[in-house]
Structure 1
Amino acid sequence: MTNPTSPVDADARRAVKPVICYPTETLPKPDLALYQAARVGAEKVAEVIVPPRDAASIEVPEGHFLRIVSIEGPQVGDLDLFNSKDLSERFYSGKTRALHGTHVTIGDQLWSNFPFMRPIATVVDDTLNWYGIDDFGGSVHDVIGTRCDPYTGQVLNGVDYHHCCHSNLTRALAAARVLPLDEAEAHVHDVLNVFMCTGFTRDTGQYFMKASPVRSGDHFELFAQIDLLAVMSACPGGDCSTEHSSDAAACYPMLMEVYKAADGRLDDWQSPSVNGYDRSHGT
Structure 2
Amino acid sequence: MTRIETTFNTLKSQNKKALIPYVMAGDPNPTVTVDLLHELVAHGADMIEVGLPFSDPMADGPTISLAGERALAAGTSTRQAIEMIKAFRQQDTQTPIILMGYLNPVEIIGYDHFISLCETAGVDGILMVDLPPAEAGTFTQRLADHAMNEIFLLSPTTLPERRRQVMRHCGGYIYYVSLKGVTGSASLDTADVGKQVQAIKSETNLPICVGFGIRDGASAKAVGQYADGVIVGSELVKHFTDIAADADGSQIDAAKAKIMAKMDELRTALDSL
TM-score category of the 2 structures, normalised to the smaller one: under 0.3
TM (norm. structure 2) is 0.26
In terms of fraction of residues, the more helix-rich structure is 2
Which structure has the larger Rg over C-alpha atoms? 1
Of structures 1 and 2, the one scoring higher in RCO (CA 8 A, sep 6+) is 1
In terms of fraction of residues, the more strand-rich structure is 1
TM (norm. structure 1) is 0.25
